[in-house]
Amino acid sequence: MQDWLDAYAESHQNKTNKAIHFVCVPLIVFSVVGLFMSIPNDLLIDITGIQSDAIANWAVVTLIPIMFFYLRLSVKMSVLIFAFLSLCIFGNAQIATIMPLWQAALGVFVAAWLGQFYGHKLEGAKPSFFDDLKFLLIGPAWILDDIFFKK
């Protein structure tokens, strides 16, 4: 995990870019969870036989292999990521009660990515995921690592 975090940090040295990432990366994850939760569950319920939208939704199904990715790298980080993703699911479920979730999630997704690309323009370095798509999963871990483990 530390090798991934160090590699990610190389293109995130500018203080403004880092601040933008601390806001935009969680928003992107939140919005992606919301977009997956917006996919109709009919097929998934047919496959699993589970009638609960809270359990049988595309976000949960998609996040299971992602959790194995984190678990393979670090148990401590996977616990933090699990907690964050659980909050994302809960928050998106709340949003879905007051407005179309896909619209809110799409708006947040676009705005947060615009922020990310602006931050990288300031940094003068391309986003890490241009080199390896796994860096899309490292961004949230990098932020959680900074919050919980950096001194």
Q: Is residue 60 part of a domain?
A: yes
* Residues 18, 123 contacting (CB under 8 angstroms): no
Q: Is residue 39 part of a domain?
A: yes
Query: Any idea which residue has 């160090």 for tokens?
Result: 6
Q: Looking at residues 43-58, what average pLDDT do you find?
A: 66
Number of domains in the chain: 1
Token duo for residue 68: 């194995």
Q: Which residue type occupies 113?
A: W
Work out the pLDDT band at 89, boundaries 50, 70, 90: very high
Q: Looking at residues 27-43, what average pLDDT do you find?
A: 90
Q: Is residue 106 part of a domain?
A: yes
- Does residue 112 register a pLDDT over 90? yes
* Residues 71, 59 contacting (CB under 8 angstroms): no
Q: Which domain holds residue 129?
A: 15-148
Work out the pLDDT band at 75, boundaries 50, 70, 90: very high
Work out the pLDDT band at 122, boundaries 50, 70, 90: confident
